[in-house]
Structure 1
Amino acid sequence: MLENVNNFLTEIIDEDLAAGLTERIHTRFPPEPNGYLHIGSAKAIFINWSIAKKYGGLFNLRYDDTNPVKEDTEYVDSIWEDIKWLTGEEPNGGVYYGSDYFETCYECAVQLIRDGKAFVCDLTQEEMRAYRGTLKAPGKESPYRDRSVEENLRLFEEMRAGKYPDGSKTLRAKIDMASRNMNLRDPAIYRIVRAHHHRQGDAWCIYPLYDFAHPIQDAIEGITHSMCSIEFENHRPLYEWVVDNCPLPHHPKQREFARLNVTNTVMSKRYLRELVETGRVEGWDDPRMPTLSALRRRGYTPSAILDFVQRAGIAKANSLVDIKLLEHCIREELNKTALRRMAVLEPIKLTITNYPEDKQESFEIANNPQDEATGTRMVPFTRELYIEKSDFAEVPPPKFQRLKPDGEVRLMGAYIVKCNEIVKDENGEVVELRCTADLETGNGMPADGRKVRGTIHWVSAPTAIDAEVYLYENLFTLENTADVPEGTNYLDFLNPDSLKKLSGCKLEPSVAEVETGAHMQFVRMGYFVKDREPGRFNRVVTLKDSFAKTLK
């Protein structure tokens, strides 16, 4: 997979290597620990990790923990687990925290003040916004812009000492209020925030803003190529201004790529957090969520996710990728690798009246017909079985090839049976089908040569395992949740049918031997994974793949 990593970013790196601008590629992934990583994060991870691997370079994980308000060790831990799971290894360049560089960021800020390139400003956020100007009109300089170097040094030191209230002062870079790039109009680079930091405790009450801290962190770590999503393209001049004007040992190169947007879901951490905190989902790892921990619990594999990222493409133009492509990637993989097991999700009892009550035999059935190396297993067969409710029709529609009154079907891997009698309860619901088996058909076709077209799966009633099965659909009915119609809220498009819980499901006994997290194809029903909760199985994806036709 990594051998084929070629895109416009690798072309840039090839040019830099050819020009002798760098000797060893060094990349990083800088997540903010204020939520769980999602499928969009997988693209950023893949780009930075795979490029480092391709060129024999280094890949860092650096937590962007410069904003203590919403950061938490829960998110730090989840990010670490997700990175190791997705890449299959720990970052070979090391694990770092942006907060570990706070002292260096402070020293850089002091140097900017001494050089007359930064000043302490007393404008409020609203006033700064008003002074900033518009895309068509230049901004207005702050009345505090011409404070002396000595006064700015004193005020900034007092800010660090906690002398001033939150939000009362900022440190701003002195660049150009008339710049066409709004990010260069004297941006704030430090603010006062009294909040307990998950790593630094209460040591600081001033914190650097991302656009100031990030290039400093990259430079300290020796990052050669700082690859980030396209919304930071207009921030690149500020990134370069910081590394040009601060006393730093290295000059990284920032380049941007389009974010990964997927249909029928949301990527905003704010929205994802709202879904969790309001109880609309079970948590960050609810299998309907687009987070990596949720996809892992749902049964998606790292290889399928990375395959999806590559197929979706790496470019600069934004696009919306159909979630069916992700489903196709995991379906294609599991079709080759998943064990086959029989499971009856909505059971109805089937009794074979001509089969001895005390008899039990076993039929040998392949674990995966596509991979002989997986071998076979023995499936117990008894007089009383369970079949799928939908595999019987008292009044069958045209071309119905499953069980019906006086009709015959093949029980998968076993006998041909004929429905002779229907037993109903007091409400008229079918509760039992009484059948006879052609006991000469256990290993082949009927002796008289008659053709039986339908084949259905089954489970032995006495040996069946009880289970709860979770069936998932898209979390949102709206394809593009970034384009919510006027007058509506994204929550208005939550899919009420995104989860269906089935209890009383019956599984063949060999499922008990399958480990948590293992994949299975419940034959004719879909691909499933054994959940960490005992007796629970999550549907990864259905068997049907109409999307595959669009790829030809």
Structure 2
Amino acid sequence: MIEEKSLNFLEEIVENDLSSGKHKSIVTRFPPEPNGYLHMGHAKSICLNFGLALKYGGYTNLRFDDTNPITEDTEYVESIKNDVKWLGFQWKNELYASDYFNQLYEFAVKLIKKDLAYVDDSTSEEIAEQKGTPTQPGKNSPFRSRTVDENVKLFEEMKAGKYKDGEKVLRAKIDMGHQNMHMRDPILYRIKHAHHHRTGDKWCIYPMYDFAHGQSDAIEKITHSICTLEFIPHRELYEWFIEKLEIYPSRQYEFARLNMTYTVMSKRKLLQLVNENHVSGWDDPRMPTISAVRRRGYTPESIREFCDKIGVAKRENLIDVGLLEFCVREHLNKIALRRMAVFDPLKIVITNYPEGKTEILSGENNPEDENSGSREIPFSRELYIEQEDFMEVAPKKFFRLAPGQMVRLKYAYIIRCDSFVKDANGGITELHCTYIPESRSGSDTSGISVKGTLHWVSAQHAVTIETRLYDRLFKAEDLSQAEGDFKEHINPDSLLVVPKVYAEPELLKAKGEERYQFLRKGYFCLDPDSKDGKLVFNRTVTLKDMWAKEVKKG
């Protein structure tokens, strides 16, 4: 019997709202600001908003909060749309806060006419001083007593471009002694003579987030406006605007944002990493951006599974990045095509195999998927195996190659090491082996049983590829608790480039959307840096959790 998964608190709210008749269906929204690239924290929000709507037969709007023209760009708009689609979701309406600039302006005029907003000439420093502190009430602005008519006129002049940036703002008239600092006459509009990526130079006044957000929700009739916990203090203001403007009563709900071990999610800190060249860019595979994890080879299915596993909580907690890597491994194991690649080559000469002969063997593409088919693998007299797969003096439980010891070559034959060649420094450069002709995989009649199986490539047919071995970008588990500058905790071993890896020739057919398991080495994908004559592969994740072993050692 399959145990039914319990509802999270948001699902309980939605089900109660639907069963009580409060809403006939639900409408959610994902409202990013187009001023940067989405990260894994956004992925959680995307999965939550779109997932709720899908589960309960509603829909989700993609709405860009483009109220700050200085930091926004169409490049970010396009990247956000690509990320949402890649994660497997489709919005019903593509909307922009700038779509509502006329309505928001009229809402502001309505508040002025109800004597609930006023134009303030105070500087930003003076306004900050007027606000008071969490334990001390604020002071009224000297401009708070302006008449309605005067405020209407001044606001019209602000819109007409009569004043310079920072010369005036429009503030709500609420209560400067309110316990909630956000309710102490918050700014609704500021002057910014800046070119907007969609409206051009039509506007020189722009609404603040708190004024645009709830009203945009109301205009779109969003039933469940889902935000992260830091927006709890904003909820009272959100509801105040809806009440005073007498508009559709959207409701805000808050959930815990995603915090992961060995990771930073702050857009400001991520920007530092990019600008100071600690990473190659926003899509550097060590970054937690969606474009970066996509380039690294993570799959949308694994990210959705991760978001489902961590659930939806009301309290902040720290999620082990190992859980994300586990979800990635689980999915890649099912879909990745198996290939062989040798990173640290040691040459083998099979002395009893005919010179010049090439045999085409067959290897399954994925043992987990019976429909994945097989590929051809060339086998010849001279092969490469990994240096670590041979020991001159082997301990008792070493089941790889050693003098007189036998192993199976994956998809091929059983071989025995007869002798080896050393260079002047004592390093082993070549093994001489014999093979058992009757031991071919799939038709073995040799009767010989061996415990070790090695991956290999034919020296004559091998293709050379570059591999980039990515690891966690930071050494500190919880960066919020780490001492000093967060950049001091960057892992110096987060990227190891192996410029010359020998791989089976089937990898010449590699495609960007395919995932590969290099046998015994990890999961890999083709990097966009690849070009004719130079294939580059990124390691997505190791086959096993290497960090867990390190923790146990420590």
* Same-fold call, TM cutoff 0.5: yes
Contact conserved, 1:140 with 1:177, CA < 8 A, in 2?
Answer: yes
Query: Distance between the aligned counterparts of 1:297 and 1:449, measured in 2?
Result: 46
Q: Structure 1 residue 499 and structure 2 residue 498: aligned?
A: no
Select 1:490's aligned residue among 464, 467, 486.
486
Contact conserved, 1:350 with 1:386, CA < 8 A, in 2?
Answer: yes
Q: Structure 1 counterpart of 2:538, which letter?
A: N
Alignment of 1:447-462 (within 5 A): 451-462=449-460
Match of 1:202 in 2: 201
Contact conserved, 1:120 with 1:171, CA < 8 A, in 2?
Answer: yes
Secondary structure in 2 aligned to 1:440?
A: helix
Match of 2:27 in 1: 26
Match of 1:540 in 2: 540
**1:172, CA displacement in angstroms?**
0.7
Contact conserved, 1:477 with 1:495, CA < 8 A, in 2?
Answer: yes
Moved more, 162-171 or 442-451: 442-451
Match of 2:38 in 1: 37
Query: Distance between the aligned counterparts of 1:216 and 1:383, measured in 2?
Result: 74
Contact conserved, 1:298 with 1:539, CA < 8 A, in 2?
Answer: yes
**1:18, CA displacement in angstroms?**
2.4
Contact conserved, 2:66 with 2:97, CA < 8 A, in 1?
Answer: yes
Match of 2:168 in 1: 169
Contact conserved, 1:410 with 1:454, CA < 8 A, in 2?
Answer: yes
Distance 1:547 1:311, change over 3 A: farther
Query: Distance between the aligned counterparts of 2:211 and 2:73, measured in 1?
Result: 22
Select 1:264's aligned residue among 262, 265, 271.
262
Q: Structure 1 residue 7 and structure 2 residue 3: aligned?
A: no
Moved more, 121-130 or 515-524: 121-130
The TM-score with structure 2 as length reference comes to: 0.94
Contact conserved, 1:261 with 1:267, CA < 8 A, in 2?
Answer: yes
Contact conserved, 1:5 with 1:50, CA < 8 A, in 2?
Answer: no
Query: Distance between the aligned counterparts of 2:35 and 2:464, measured in 1?
Result: 39
Unaligned stretches of 5+ residues in structure 2: 550-554
Select 2:512's aligned residue among 509, 513, 516.
516
Match of 1:216 in 2: 215
Q: Structure 1 residue 329 and structure 2 residue 327: aligned?
A: yes
Query: Distance between the aligned counterparts of 2:481 and 2:145, measured in 1?
Result: 44
Query: Distance between the aligned counterparts of 1:444 and 1:232, measured in 2?
Result: 62
Alignment of 1:317-466 (within 5 A): 317-397=315-395, 399-443=397-441, 451-466=449-464
Match of 2:552 in 1: none
Match of 1:75 in 2: 76
Query: Distance between the aligned counterparts of 2:263 and 2:15, measured in 1?
Result: 36
Secondary structure in 2 aligned to 1:516?
A: coil
Contact conserved, 2:439 with 2:446, CA < 8 A, in 1?
Answer: no
Match of 1:234 in 2: 233
Query: Distance between the aligned counterparts of 1:74 and 1:285, measured in 2?
Result: 14
Contact conserved, 2:407 with 2:414, CA < 8 A, in 1?
Answer: yes
Moved more, 230-239 or 397-406: 397-406
Query: Distance between the aligned counterparts of 2:469 and 2:353, measured in 1?
Result: 35
Secondary structure in 1 aligned to 2:438?
A: coil
**1:334, CA displacement in angstroms?**
1.5
Distance 1:547 1:49, change over 3 A: farther
Alignment of 1:48-197 (within 5 A): 48-87=49-88, 89-92=89-92, 94-197=93-196
Select 2:291's aligned residue among 267, 288, 293.
293
**1:163, CA displacement in angstroms?**
2.1
Distance 1:427 1:35, change over 3 A: farther
Query: Distance between the aligned counterparts of 2:460 and 2:546, measured in 1?
Result: 37
Query: Distance between the aligned counterparts of 2:448 and 2:104, measured in 1?
Result: 83
Secondary structure in 2 aligned to 1:281?
A: coil
Secondary structure in 2 aligned to 1:194?
A: coil
- 1:28-87 per-residue CA deviation (whole Å, 9 max, x = no partner) reads 000001111111101111111011111111210000110112111111110000011112
- 1:392-424 per-residue CA deviation (whole Å, 9 max, x = no partner) reads 233445522212234322211212222333334
Query: Distance between the aligned counterparts of 2:149 and 2:425, measured in 1?
Result: 89
Unaligned stretches of 5+ residues in structure 1: none
Match of 2:524 in 1: 528
Secondary structure in 2 aligned to 1:53?
A: helix
Contact conserved, 1:263 with 1:481, CA < 8 A, in 2?
Answer: yes
Secondary structure in 2 aligned to 1:223?
A: coil
Secondary structure in 1 aligned to 2:439?
A: coil
Contact conserved, 2:262 with 2:473, CA < 8 A, in 1?
Answer: yes
Between the two proteins, what is the percent identity of the paired residues? Answer: 54
**1:318, CA displacement in angstroms?**
0.7
**1:444, CA displacement in angstroms?**
7.4
Query: Distance between the aligned counterparts of 2:212 and 2:160, measured in 1?
Result: 20
Q: Structure 1 counterpart of 2:81, which letter?
A: W
**1:280, CA displacement in angstroms?**
1.5
Q: Structure 1 counterpart of 2:379, which letter?
A: F
Query: Distance between the aligned counterparts of 1:508 and 1:496, measured in 2?
Result: 31
Q: Structure 2 counterpart of 1:377, which letter?
A: R
**1:431, CA displacement in angstroms?**
3.0
Moved more, 25-34 or 186-195: 186-195
Query: Distance between the aligned counterparts of 1:506 and 1:359, measured in 2?
Result: 20
Question: What number of residue pairs does the alignment pair up?
Answer: 543
Contact conserved, 2:438 with 2:446, CA < 8 A, in 1?
Answer: no
- 1:296-318 per-residue CA deviation (whole Å, 9 max, x = no partner) reads 11111111101101111101111
Q: Structure 2 counterpart of 1:145, which letter?
A: R
Moved more, 384-393 or 232-241: 384-393
Query: Distance between the aligned counterparts of 1:227 and 1:118, measured in 2?
Result: 27
- 1:239-291 per-residue CA deviation (whole Å, 9 max, x = no partner) reads 0111111253x211111111011111111111112212222212111111111
Contact conserved, 1:31 with 1:62, CA < 8 A, in 2?
Answer: yes
Query: Distance between the aligned counterparts of 2:304 and 2:446, measured in 1?
Result: 53
Secondary structure in 2 aligned to 1:290?
A: coil
Q: Structure 2 counterpart of 1:55, which letter?
A: Y
Query: Distance between the aligned counterparts of 2:547 and 2:486, measured in 1?
Result: 26
Q: Structure 1 counterpart of 2:540, which letter?
A: V
